[in-house]
């Protein structure tokens, strides 16, 4: 039995010779399907063509907008709590004032109650943060005083109608003042009459651990460093109680206390506006008869810069191993192995600037290698996140990056005979003499 093996297209033997081609692909987040991927931090996109025999890839260049929020409800760092402690009682100083009596009654009713403030989402410089905190502390206290005045059943038989009217005319509670010491880079919290405590151990900072276990925020890892707004302001997990000048001097041998009109008060020159303001460094003074000022200093410097790196993940391309924030779990408590992540990301991108600006950079070091080469790549799925797993929020701003693909192009085996043009001319001249 015979077989016809004739073929007009004979197979060419694989010579295992390849040409290495560098191919660059530019990708813009604005080209994604916005209906399917409304946020640019994660999307999937088809590439302009199918890339065959891809041996390696890396992030070659990128451009990102610096319009990020350091403080956001998504990062659990826009809230903090405080409570009122020792209050200014006008009766103790023989001060017969309806407004002061009404404020004392209202604050005494809510004494030791945890009061919540929420700052605006965004990016702050230190002076802006001091202004925001001052306004929020006073606004929250004003709110609870109004709640007391609006409910006569809480008045305990005393008529506070006059105090209510005077409180409205005065513009509300204004005894809190928070300032920034630009030399020490620390925030100071003060009140010109009432003692207060900042509740850094509040349960609101531990709710994040519960939320992380729910379906809403599974992608964010628990942290022990940036655990809430007080951590960015320079506080630890311990509650901080404001003290008066005498108590402060018992435990602090520094020169922040001075005498003004016979009263010991805090003093430092904390900003460029001091000469214009005329306060001569006295940022917190008593305004009521016999009142003492209460204040506290954050133990550490402020930290408003936000995340330093963005991690880019590309599904199937990740090549960077990454450590993971420590968390107390059954896994970490029962073995001594790392909880780091193998092949967690494709590139690690530094954030070199603060809002509002645009930053550019080129040539990321890590390569993703395929052995054997990836047979076919036609689409990519991109995700941008921070080290703690939270997605990068670019809002309505778009970004772009360029990928470098190293592609192996198979070649047919050929033999070449290369002759120098000069030598060829000399040979022809020699031959012509003997013809």
pTM comes to 0.81
Helical H segments across 150-189, by residue range: 161-170
**Region 128-136: what's the mean pLDDT?**
96
pLDDT at 196: 96
The 10s digit of each residue's pLDDT in 189-227 is 999 999 999 999 888 876 554 444 444 344 566 667 788
pLDDT of residue 345: 95
Burial class (CB in 10 A: 0-12, 13-18, 19+), 187: buried
| Higher pLDDT among residues 69 and 301, named by residue | 301
How many CA atoms are closer than 13 Å to the CA of 285, on its beta-carbon side? 10
Residue 211's H or E segment, with its range, is helix 207-212
* Per-residue model confidence (pLDDT) at position 212: 46
Distances in Å between the alpha carbon of 31 and those of 47, 313, 398?
Answer: 11, 18, 9
pLDDT tens for residues 167-183?
A: 999 999 999 999 998 88
Closest CA to 229 of 9, 72, 57: 72
> What's the pLDDT at 282?
87
Q: Find the helix packing angle between 161-170 and 98-109, rounded to 10°.
A: 100
CA 257 to chain centroid: 35
Mean pLDDT over residues 23-49, rounded? Answer: 95
Give the closest residue to 246 by CA, choosing from 234, 270, 260, 263. 263
- What's residue 275's pLDDT? 47
Lowest-confidence range among 119-123, 261-265, 344-348, 356-360?
356-360
Lowest-pLDDT range, 203-212, 223-232, 317-326, 420-429? Answer: 203-212
Helices 126-149 & 161-170 angle (0-180, nearest 10)? 160
Smallest CA-to-CA distance from 231 within 127, 386, 80 is with 80
Indicate whether 65 pLDDT > 70: yes
Domain range list for the chain: 17-68+308-411, 73-297
- Name the residue with higher pLDDT: 252 or 73: 73
H/E element holding 106? helix 98-109
* Contact partners, residue 192, CB within 8 Å, separation at least 6: 175, 177, 284, 285, 286, 287, 288, 291, 293
Give the β-pairing of 186-191 and 176-181: antiparallel
Say how far apart CA 105 and CA 280 lie, in whole Å: 34
Q: Which of 336-345, 374-383, 391-400, 425-434 has the lowest mean pLDDT?
A: 425-434
32 pLDDT above the threshold of 60: yes
Which range in 113-122, 247-256, 337-346 is most confidently predicted, on average pLDDT?
113-122
Q: Which CATH class is domain 17-68+308-411?
A: mainly beta
Write down the residue that tokens 């103790």 correspond to.
Answer: 92
pLDDT greater than 50 at residue 319: yes
User: Does residue 274 register a pLDDT over 90?
Assistant: no
What is the DSSP annotation of 301-341? Answer: ----S--SEEEEEETTT--EEE------SHHHHH--S---E
Which pLDDT score is estimated for 434? 56
Mean pLDDT of the chain: 85
């Amino acid at each position: 039995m015979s077989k016809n093996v004739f073929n007009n297209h004979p197979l060419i033997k694989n010579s295992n010779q390849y040409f290495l081609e560098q191919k660059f692909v530019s990708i813009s987040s604005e080209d994604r399907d916005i209906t399917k991927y409304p946020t640019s931090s994660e999307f999937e996109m088809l590439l302009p063509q199918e890339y065959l025999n891809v041996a390696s890839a890396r992030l070659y260049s990128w451009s990102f907008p610096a319009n990020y929020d350091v403080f956001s409800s998504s990062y659990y760092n826009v809230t903090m709590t405080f409570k009122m402690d020792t209050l200014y009682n006008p009766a103790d100083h023989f001060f017969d004032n309806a407004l002061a009596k009404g404020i004392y009654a209202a604050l005494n009713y809510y004494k030791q109650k945890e009061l919540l403030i929420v700052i605006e989402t965004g990016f702050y410089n230190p002076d802006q943060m001091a202004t925001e905190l001052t306004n929020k502390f006073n606004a929250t206290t004003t709110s609870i005083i109004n709640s007391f005045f609006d409910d006569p059943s809480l008045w305990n038989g005393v008529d506070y109608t006059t105090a209510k009217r005077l409180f409205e005319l005065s513009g509300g509670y204004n005894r809190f003042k928070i300032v920034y010491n630009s030399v020490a880079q620390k925030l100071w919290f003060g009140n010109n009459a009432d003692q207060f405590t900042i509740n850094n151990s509040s349960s609101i900072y531990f709710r994040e651990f519960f939320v992380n276990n729910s379906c809403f925020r599974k992608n964010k890892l628990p942290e022990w460093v940036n655990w809430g707004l007080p951590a960015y302001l320079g506080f630890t997990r311990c509650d901080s109680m404001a003290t008066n000048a005498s108590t402060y001097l018992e435990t602090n041998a520094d020169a922040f206390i001075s005498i003004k009109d016979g009263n010991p008060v805090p003093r430092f020159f904390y900003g460029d506006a001091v000469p214009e303001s005329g306060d001569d460094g006295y940022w917190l003074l008593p305004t009521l008869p016999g009142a003492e000022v209460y204040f506290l200093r954050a133990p550490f410097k402020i930290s408003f810069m936000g995340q330093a790196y963005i991690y880019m993940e590309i599904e199937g391309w990740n090549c960077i191993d990454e450590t993971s924030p420590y968390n107390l779990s059954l896994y970490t408590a029962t073995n001594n192995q790392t909880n780091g992540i193998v092949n967690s990301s494709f590139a690690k991108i530094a954030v070199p600037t603060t809002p509002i600006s645009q930053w550019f950079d080129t040539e990321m070091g890590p390569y993703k290698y395929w052995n054997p080469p990836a047979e076919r790549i036609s689409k990519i799925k991109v995700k941008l996140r921070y080290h703690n797993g939270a997605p990068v929020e670019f809002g309505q701003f778009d970004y772009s990056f360029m990928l470098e693909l190293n592609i192996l192009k198979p070649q047919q085996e050929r033999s070449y005979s290369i002759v120098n043009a000069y030598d060829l001319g000399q040979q022809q001249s020699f031959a012509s003499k003997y013809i």
